[in-house]
Amino acid sequence: MKRFDIELSAGLFMLIGILCLAYISIKLGKLEVIGNSGYTVYANFEKSGGLKPGSTVEIAGVEVGKVKAISLSKDYQARVTMVIRGGVILQEDAIASIKTKGLIGEKYLQITPGGSERIIPDGGTLRETESAVDIEELISKYVFGKV
């Protein structure tokens, strides 16, 4: 009987440890297991410039959402689908820009709020966008004297 109690307590301890590890992994990875609590907004860019699904969406340096998908639209532009947290309100004249963290860092989407009274609904599109700056293109223009 005593051996059974030790094995049962060891098994229970292992199960609790595995559940704690799974919880910490989900929290640190910022994964959403049970749906997403936000609304979808679209933006069209000339170039996505290395932006990837899962990249952060920020306003004033604060993460307010994630890039869900990037696809090619009918007019050959990069159509970025992003999920914005429920409490964040975007104005119709907000500007979406693709920025880089650091000199050669990861890409993220920065939204500069507008001053309009109109709000972008779920499934709406940001009309004002700024594509990513292509460093290689700028260097080649400088080297070949086109600047």
Q: Which residues pair with 109 in a beta bridge?
A: 57, 98
Which pLDDT score, from 0 to 100, does residue 34 have?
57
pLDDT greater than 90 at residue 130: no
More confident residue, 102 or 45: 45
Q: Would you kindly state where each structural domain of the chain is located, as residue ranges?
A: 1-31, 38-133
- Determine whether 96 is exposed, middle or buried from the number of CB atoms within 10 Å of its CB (0-12, 13-18, 19+): buried
Dihedral sign for Cα atoms in the order 98, 99, 104, 106: negative
Q: Rounded to whole angstroms, what are the CA distances from 97 to 26, 37, 84, 144?
A: 29, 23, 15, 28
pLDDT greater than 80 at residue 20: yes
The answer to whether the CB of 77 falls within 8 A of the CB of 46 is yes
Which pLDDT score, from 0 to 100, does residue 70 have?
92
pLDDT greater than 80 at residue 81: yes
For residues 101 and 95, what is the distance between their CA atoms, to the nearest angstrom? Answer: 18
What stretch of H or E contains 5? helix 2-28
| pTM exceeds 0.85 | no
Contacts of residue 56, Cβ cutoff 8 Å, sequence gap at least 6: 63, 65, 66, 67, 108, 109
pLDDT in tens, 27-71: 776 665 555 578 899 999 988 878 889 889 999 989 999 999 999
The answer to whether the CB of 31 falls within 8 A of the CB of 84 is no
Which pLDDT score, from 0 to 100, does residue 57 have?
92
